[in-house]
Structure 1
C-alpha cells in the first residue's frame, strides 16, 4: 500500500493525493496524448485551487458560512432555467431530471459536455450552490462560460418530483443515478458526462463512480462537502448538544416535512414497508437526523438487498464513501472545509489512490466558501472558480480511458436499458418533458438541501 502524500499546502489549506502511480491521459501540443499525474493536472489547469480561501470577515466561522448558505438571499443571482424530464423506474419510483439550458431555448452542440449535478439531503435544482456552478458551466463561451449542458438529478420526492413508490433514496443508494446516466447518455450519445455532487449527492456520486470503476459513465467527478464517514460523523454530531439540536434536528425535520408534502400521494400507494412506517415517522417529535434514518432510511432507502438494515449505524457504515475510494478509476476532485460543522471526518489517505485528490480549505463551512465581493457586504462563492476550472480541464483536455460503453436501446414497450444488461430493474420509461422550471429559491426550510 502506498504512503499518503501531501502535494501542496499554504497556511492551513492543503491538497492530499494518493501515492499510487495512477496516471491520466491529457491532450498535448504534440499529436500524441501526454500521461500525467492528477496532482500535476490540477496544478497546471486549476490555479484557483492553490489560492487560499479567505472568508468574508463577517462570515469567519463554519457556522456562519453554513448559516449564510441556508438563509442568504440568492434569488437575484445565478438564475437558471430548466426543462424537466420525469423518469419512471421498474420499481415504480420517479426521478426528475432538470436540463439547462431548457430545450429549444438556445442551441447547444450535441457533443457538448454535460455536467450531471446531484443535490444535498432534501434539496433540488433550485439550490443556490447548484445554480452557482451550473450558471457558469452552461453560459455560452462567447459570454465567458463553458458552453456546456447541465442536468440536475432530483431524488425521489425532492424539488416537486412526485412520490410514486414504496422506496426512498439514501446516501449510499446509487441505482437512481446509474439509471439517470444511462438515460442522459441515450438522449445525448455524443456527449461526455461529468459529475458534480454536493453533500449527500457527493456521497452518492462517489459510490457510483467507485462501483462502476472504468465503466463509469461519469468520466470525472467533483465532490463538494461530501460527508464521507457517515457513521463517525453521526457519532460526532449526536455527541454534541449544539450540533445535535441545531444541525441534526433541522435535517431530520426537513426529511419529515418532505414526506408530509407527499402525504396524499403516499396514502394512494399500495401497502408496503414505507406506508407502514409513515405514521411512525410523522409521530416523531423534533427528530434528529439519526431518529429519521433509524425510522425511515435504513428500512426503505434502497433496493432489497441490502435494505432493510438492522440499525441506522449499520446503514451508515454501508453507505459511507470513504472506504470505496480505492476503487475509483476516473479523475475525482473533492473539496471539503476544515470548519464544516456537519462533516468532521475526511479521508486524508484518499484511498491511497492516485485518481483521487482532496482539497481541504481552512474555512468555508458546509457548502459555503463565501469570500468578500467587490462591494460592501457583497459575497461570492470561492469554490465556483476551481470547480469551473476543473470542469473546463476535464471537458477540454482529459482523454478518457474508455468511451465505448455498452449500447443503449429502447424496446417495443418504451423501456430504455443497456443492451444485454442482466438487471431488468435498471430500465426506465420517460413520462415526458414538462414545462420550463425557474430554478430559484423557494423550497425553504432549516438547512434545506445540505
Structure 2
C-alpha cells in the first residue's frame, strides 16, 4: 500500500523550499555595459533560477517517492534525450583508468571559452543514464535549436559503463582523487572554459566532498548536486529500517554492485594475495546483499588505494565519506536539490552548516532522481528538474565573474599533475570510441 499512498494528495499545490542563511554579497555577476555587481547567492538564484520557485506537480500516476523512483529504474527512456559521446580514456598515476565521455562529438565550432558541464553519475551508472541525458540533451544542443550550446564531459567511474579495471581499486562515495585528476586533464585541454559541476546521487557525494576539500582552489566554477546521500550512516540506517527499503532499494543497489564486480573480478584478482583480490573473491559469492553488506565486504577495502583506506568497517567508511559535515568548506556557488519523499535519501542537511555559498532545495515530491511530471501525450512524462538545472547552468556559466586562481599544472614522467599533488597525475591513452548514450548496460538496474 505504501507504493500508492499519496495518490490523491499529490495533486495539491507544491512548493520548492530553499534556505541560505546569509545575505552576504559574495559573488560577482555580469551586468550591462561590461559592469559587474556583487550579490548574495540567494538573490542570484531568485533572479536567474525562477523555476526553483515554481510549482512541481508530479504525474498523477507517479504520485509518491516510491513510484517516482521505480519509474526512474524501470521506465523506457531509450527514445528520449538521445546523446552521442566520444570517449577518451585517461590512465591515472596509480594505474587506474577513467572513461571521459564528451558531447557533442563534433565540437569543432564551439568557442574555447564556452562553459563545460562536468558530470558525475550515480552508484553503478554512466553517461547512458536517463537522468544524465535529460539535462545534457538540451544543454548541449545548439543555441539555434533552443539549447545552451555547451560542451559536457561525463566522468565514468572505474569499471562503470564499459570502463576497464586496470588497478586493484574500484570507487566509492569518499574517494575524490579520480575527479581531481580528471579535472587536471579537462582544465589543461580547455584552459579558457569555465567548468560547471553537475552530479547525481553517489557522484553528488563525491563532487560535494571534492568542492569542499578544494575550497577557494576548486577548479569547478559552480556545482549542482542532485539527490546527494549526505549523511551515509543516517540514510543507510533509515533505508534498511523498512521492508521495502531493505529488500527492494538496498538489495537492488547491492545486486547492481555485485553484478558490476563480477564483470571485473578477473582484473581485480590477478594477485590473489592482495587484500582487494581476497575481498572481491568473497563478495562476488554474496547472494542479493544489501548495499551495507557489500560495503562491509568490499568498498571499505577497495574504495580507495591510499590512507584512510582500508577502513575497519562499513560504518567507519560511512562516517568518513559523508558529505554533510564538509558543506561549511564550500567556496563556489553550490546548488543542492533533494526530494522530501526520496526513499533512498531521507536525511537532508537543509541548514548547510550556515554556509552562504550553498543553496539547499527540497521538493515535496520527486523520489530518487525522478521528478517526473506529466508531458504531452497519454502516459508521457518529462523531468521537472531539467528546467531549473538548465537555468542554474546558464546563470553560473554566463553571468558569473570569476577571478579565481588555480594551482599550476605541469608534466612529470609523462603524467599531467598539479603543484602540491605530485603523487597524482593522468595521461590520455589509446582506445577512445563513440558511445551511444541510450545503450544501457546489460544486467544492471538503471536509474540508481
- Per the TM superposition, whether the score is higher than 0.5 is yes
Paired position in structure 2 for 1:7: none
Q: What aligned pairs does 1:203-242 form with structure 2 within 5 A after superposition?
A: 203-242=205-244
Paired position in structure 2 for 1:55: 58
Q: Is residue 432 of structure 2 the alignment partner of residue 442 of structure 1?
A: no
| 1:431 pairs with one of 414, 429, 432 | 429
Residue 283 of structure 1: how far off its partner (Å): 1.7
Q: Look up the SS of the partner of 1:254 in the other structure.
A: helix
CA contact 1:199–1:225 (8 Å) conserved in 2: yes
Q: Look up the SS of the partner of 2:118 in the other structure.
A: strand
Paired position in structure 2 for 1:180: 182
Q: Look up the SS of the partner of 1:65 in the other structure.
A: helix
CA contact 2:93–2:415 (8 Å) conserved in 1: no
Paired position in structure 1 for 2:32: 29
Cα 1:31–1:108, aligned 2, differ >3 Å: closer, same or farther? Answer: closer
Q: Look up the SS of the partner of 2:32 in the other structure.
A: coil
Residue 224 of structure 1: how far off its partner (Å): 0.5
Paired position in structure 2 for 1:93: 96
Residue 386 of structure 1: how far off its partner (Å): 0.3
CA contact 1:164–1:269 (8 Å) conserved in 2: no
Cα 1:44–1:218, aligned 2, differ >3 Å: closer, same or farther? Answer: same
CA contact 2:107–2:151 (8 Å) conserved in 1: no
**How many residues are paired up?**
436
Distance 1:446 1:405 in 2: 38
| 2:193 pairs with one of 191, 194, 200 | 191
| 2:19 pairs with one of 16, 33, 42 | 16
Cα 1:251–1:129, aligned 2, differ >3 Å: closer, same or farther? Answer: same
Residue 142 of structure 1: how far off its partner (Å): 1.0
Structure 2's unaligned 5+ residue stretches are: 1-12
Paired position in structure 1 for 2:5: none
Q: Look up the SS of the partner of 1:426 in the other structure.
A: coil
Paired position in structure 1 for 2:339: 337
4+ residue runs over 3 A deviation: 267-271, 444-449
Q: Look up the SS of the partner of 1:122 in the other structure.
A: coil
CA contact 1:22–1:355 (8 Å) conserved in 2: no
Q: Look up the SS of the partner of 2:221 in the other structure.
A: strand
Paired position in structure 2 for 1:152: 154
**TM-score, normalised by the number of residues in structure 1:** 0.94
Q: Look up the SS of the partner of 1:348 in the other structure.
A: coil
Over the aligned positions, Cα root-mean-square deviation in angstroms equals 1.6
Paired position in structure 2 for 1:136: 138
Residue 263 of structure 1: how far off its partner (Å): 2.6
